Amino acid sequence: MEGQSVTKVVLLSCGSFNPITNMHLRMFELARDHLEDTGQYKVVKGIISPVGDGYKKKGLIDAYHRQEMAKLATENSDWITVDTWESLQPVWVETVKVVRHHYNEMLAAEQKNDDVDTVKYAKKRRIEGNYFEDSSHDKRRGGPQLMLLCGADILESFGIPNLWKQDDIAEIVGRYGLVCITRSGNDPHKCIHQSEILWKYRKNIQVVQEWVTNEISATHVRLALRRGRSVRYLLPDAVVHYIQEHDLYSAESEQKNADVVLAPLQKYTGASSS
């Protein structure tokens, strides 16, 4: 569109990826189509950030294998990459810190390109700590905007008491922005309507309607694997082979962390942190 500036976007998705599925990859394609259709954005990169072992979710296999599977799944993509910073941290890292890390990496990359003025401007905004209702500081900076990409279950989880800090939600949505893919069983518009904080920053939330509903979930994939059923066409072939080669998912692996629960996950199990 003539006269309208196009904002470059980097999409970041955080999750267990235990294992990565075709739907995780589809999320990126759906988000890119949606954003670029608006005429306001150009998606330049997608980052998959598998959670570290410190997350201690039941059945979460070693981060090393989850990373390797994500790398195999994205080897044919020319824009989706896997980043291991989060999974290499010795303890679980809240999502807002992962987002900040990637934002700072983007600033550092811009600095390398000698884009001094825009970097100075972005740093100034960071120090001021102000959030804008339309992330316009990034547009003015001229560099790409970082947005968190997630399924509607994550948006809904923002409303679960004590799972996410309100300040973290405000920073993720208010400062960076969120792209949310619909998932059956979740109603993102209702979540936004019911939450003061999401409502305040609603202009920074892009809800992407997935019409070809696809209920692939990593939990169902692990269940099928434990039962010796085929998971072909739910995951990239290279990932299926990797799982077979390393015999990754079994009744035993599903019991991993069964009695060790990280504080943010207590709501799922009622167990206490160790």
- Per CB under 6 A, residues contacting ligand NMN are 14-16, 51, 55, 57, 94-96, 154, 163-164, 168, 264
Q: Minimal distance in Å, beta carbon 101 to ligand NMN?
A: 13
- CA dist., res. 172 & res. 146, Å (int): 10
Member of 84, 111, 217, 266 binding ligand ATP (CB under 6 A): 217
Residue 143 interacting partner from ligand NMN, ligand ATP, none (CB closer than 5 to 8 Å by kind): none
- CA dist., res. 73 & res. 20, Å (int): 7
Q: Interface mask (CB under 6 A) for ligand ATP, residues 64-93, using x and -?
A: ------------------------------
Residue type, 133: E
Nearer to ligand ATP, 137 or 183 (CB): 183
- Residue 5 tokens read as 């500036």
In the chain, the largest separation of any two C-alpha atoms, in whole Å, equals 59
Nearer to ligand NMN, 31 or 154 (CB): 154
CB 84 within 8 A of CB 52: no
CB 32 within 8 A of CB 13: no
Q: Minimal distance in Å, beta carbon 269 to ligand ATP?
A: 13
Exposure class string for 21-45: b at 16+ Cβ within 10 A, else e: bbbbbebbebbbebbeeeeebebeb
Residue 16 is a binding residue for ligand ATP (CB under 6 A): yes
Residues 6+ apart with CB under 8 A from 156: 186, 187, 188, 191
Nearer to ligand ATP, 98 or 107 (CB): 98
Nearer to ligand ATP, 143 or 151 (CB): 151
Nearer to ligand ATP, 58 or 139 (CB): 58
Member of 15, 46, 236, 264 binding ligand ATP (CB under 6 A): 15
DSSP H or E stretch at residue 44: strand 41-50
Which spans of this chain sit near ligand ATP (rule: CB under 6 A)?
Answer: 13, 15-18, 23-24, 27, 150-151, 153-154, 181, 183, 214-219
